[in-house]
Structure 1
Amino acid sequence: MKDHQGLYDFPLTPEQEKRALAIHERSIVIDLLFQGPLSPRVVPAEVSAQIKEECEALKDDPMAYSALPAKRLRQMSVSGELPAFKEEWYRSGITAGNREVDLSSPEAIITSMGEMQEQFDRFDWLVKALTADDIREAKRKGLKAGIVTSQDPGGLGKNLDLLEALHGFGLRVLQLTYNNQNAIASGCMELANGGVSNFGMAFISRMNELGIVVDTSHCGEQTTLDACRLSTQPVIASHTGVEAIYPHRRCKSDAELRAIAATGGVIGVFAMPWFVHGDPQATTIDHVLDHVDYIVRLVGVDHVGIGTDWPMSDVDWSLVYFKEHIAPKLGFDKGDGPSTELVAGLEQYGLFINFTRGLVARGYSDEEVSKIIGGNWLRIFERVWG
């Protein structure tokens, strides 16, 4: 399906290949669920083995055992032991990617903020994006921009002052709930489909006031529709898919897609093999682009972006363990969710140009491609962040 260089085998002429490369190089490219830039493919085998040996002492604590590999990779990256962190990010051509903080508990908030800030402090090529102009400036200077986001606000409880403090730290995109029920709203795995709570209404209002983008990716259908009705600013889904193509609860209905677009928002399409196609062992970037095409036909090219969410900055053996022992605790069905399957054409982030090449192959114009691979996200940031 792909040639020996890792470039997916799209039917492109030499002229189209040249055009795709030019678009990718001049565009601001944004992945709004950027788990990279590392992936198991670029982590040296000896590093994976070393981390596994360190983890053995944690075998009786599944959560700690599962979390340690990604933590060690972060530590090795900021210390300079893993040069692939910078190399792969630059190879990808991605201008800006999110840097996720964990807000699921008070303890996680403190730890995660410290780990996040260390990246900005230690990497002289990585800037914290507080405004849309920060991303443009990074592009001009050959730097990379990190967008502080979070998927689970559970640790905030009902303290809106904490939301303001996090905005001061740099939080710019926040999901209302992660799969399950919280004080704000119902997640996509809640069969009751309860929507936004009374407190959630105040929470969304405060996000609007502060300039934090409302993200509905893991939200239930009614929550998404409520958020679009309640928010005075554009609403997004940073990483999702199309339910009409693949009927998974992590994908959005046509009603949700239309509602998000009606706010002026953007739907980011993910590259997760279990959620975009029926066979995760045979999912390709063409299947991902089918979701992009559908959204373009339904609501227009101004309302679609990319939020890959895969592959993870992790190692293979840890991902297998996560699927077997951790994913069910997070609301995933048994056997569902992240493991070692990959989308052919995006086995590592250095191949991100395959999105641009695929869009060119499907007949999109230069302007349309630039919008999908980053321009639409930048428009949202300009509007919401001020």
Structure 2
Amino acid sequence: MSIQEGRYDFGLSAAQEERAERLHDKNINIDLLFQGPLSPAAIPESISLKVKELCEPYKDEPMVYSTMPAQIITRLAASGEIAEYKEEWYKSGITAGNRELHLKDTESLITSMGEVQLQFDSCDWLVKALNAEDIRRAKREGKKAGIVTAQETDALGKNLALLDTLHSFGLRILQLTYNNQNLIGSGCAEPGNGGLSSYGLRVVERMNTLGMIVDTGHCGRQTTLDACAASASPVIASHTGAEAVYPHMRCKSDEELRAIAATGGVIGVFAMPWFVHEDPDHTTIEHVLDHMEYVIRLVGVEHVGIGTDWPMSDLEWSLVFFKEQIAPKLGFAKGDGPSTETVAGLAKYSNFINFTRGLVARGYSDEEVAKLMGGNWLRVFEQICG
């Protein structure tokens, strides 16, 4: 593998560059909050204009207008009209990334199930990962694996039987709460910090029984701690950061990070410009690596992974609209949320080798790099999902 475009300047020697390429090609690399493989920088301008034309009649319906572009892009990619969909994934070197269901309500659940299944049905190189061996097999066969996940639970209501149905579809990772309060517990933007409800405890128990991974990425502090105490299986935070490095509501305290690690779980560090550094216009992959290193020093290299949550598989004009009109309604602070800022070194998914290169630059061993780039996620996935 030789990826020259988008390389971040870590000052690596020729020998280090060769080692990074070898490791990136050899390892099972997993991004557990994988918004791509497309990104605004990778989608052709002609596609952006076409999508905008299709969406314009719905501009007076903000939620519809905001969600339409990503849905149209998914269909265009599945039909083969956006060749970059496959190209970016393969150039990235990522073996597995999540394919996300939306459980905001019944309509979004049904729609997203169709969109996710369409990707698997349309791409003979993309397999649905129901267990760890599916990911290993994808690596051996030169394919890619999609792990079905969800960040919301509102569509469940109090019908726990839906968890069984979703598990049968392929859902393997479920985040208990998003930013705000729901029936399960308090999200990270909820000032009450109420923790898990009695129903939330039952949800965790059912997820343990099914072999579904408990995710606390957007959960509030007490909800995270309660989940770690209640779960009989490892708990994860698919995408977060270290509060001690940058004090943002989406980052987790040392107490939470230690609690997750104590379950045998993994903390995925994100690459959202506004969540890892005080200046989103000058955020680099070094800042993301700073969060990873802090968590490594705190809880050990066995409990850290990557969940970039970035760059978004969307269009620049749509992301600006989302940030201005939609993000505040979802609990994000003013100025937060997807927009035009990017992390230097990760403008495209094809730049993902910069993680391996950065870990090499910081002196990690081959074994440690393998764990951080995907081995830790694979371990938890195998332990819980088989």
TM-score range, shorter chain: over 0.9
Structure 1 residues 318-343: Cα deviation after superposition (integer angstroms, max 9, x where no partner): 00000000001111112222111000
Task: Find out whether 1:341 has 2:315 as its counterpart.
Answer: no
* Match runs of 1:1-386 below 5 Å: 5-386=5-386
3-state SS of paired residue (2:238): strand
Displacement of 1:210 after TM fit? 0.2
Distance across 1 between alignment mates of 2:103 and 2:79:
25
Distance across 1 between alignment mates of 2:224 and 2:149:
18
Distance across 2 between alignment mates of 1:54 and 1:20:
42
Structure 1 residues 328-366: Cα deviation after superposition (integer angstroms, max 9, x where no partner): 111111222211100000000000000000000000000
Distance across 2 between alignment mates of 1:89 and 1:32:
14
Contact 2:78/2:118 (CA < 8 Å) preserved in 1?
Answer: yes
Instruction: Return closer, same or farther for 1:180/1:49 CA change in 2, 3 Å cut-off.
Output: same
Displacement of 1:235 after TM fit? 0.2
Distance across 1 between alignment mates of 2:100 and 2:76:
18
Distance across 2 between alignment mates of 1:209 and 1:5:
45
**Structure 2: unaligned runs, 5 residues or longer:** none
Worse-matched range after superposition: 262-271 or 46-55:
46-55
Aligned AA for 1:164?
D
Contact 2:303/2:376 (CA < 8 Å) preserved in 1?
Answer: yes
**Structure 1: unaligned runs, 5 residues or longer:** none
Displacement of 1:4 after TM fit? 7.8
Structure 1 residues 85-117: Cα deviation after superposition (integer angstroms, max 9, x where no partner): 000000000000000001111111111101111
Distance across 1 between alignment mates of 2:187 and 2:66:
24
Distance across 1 between alignment mates of 2:59 and 2:7:
39
Q: Give the alignment's TM-score, normalised by structure 2.
A: 0.99
Distance across 1 between alignment mates of 2:377 and 2:340:
29
Aligned AA for 1:128?
K
Contact 2:103/2:155 (CA < 8 Å) preserved in 1?
Answer: yes
TM-align CA RMSD: 0.9
Distance across 1 between alignment mates of 2:26 and 2:245:
32
3-state SS of paired residue (1:134): helix
Q: What stretches of structure 1 move > 2 A for 4+ residues in a row? A: none
Aligned length: 384
Distance across 1 between alignment mates of 2:63 and 2:356:
37
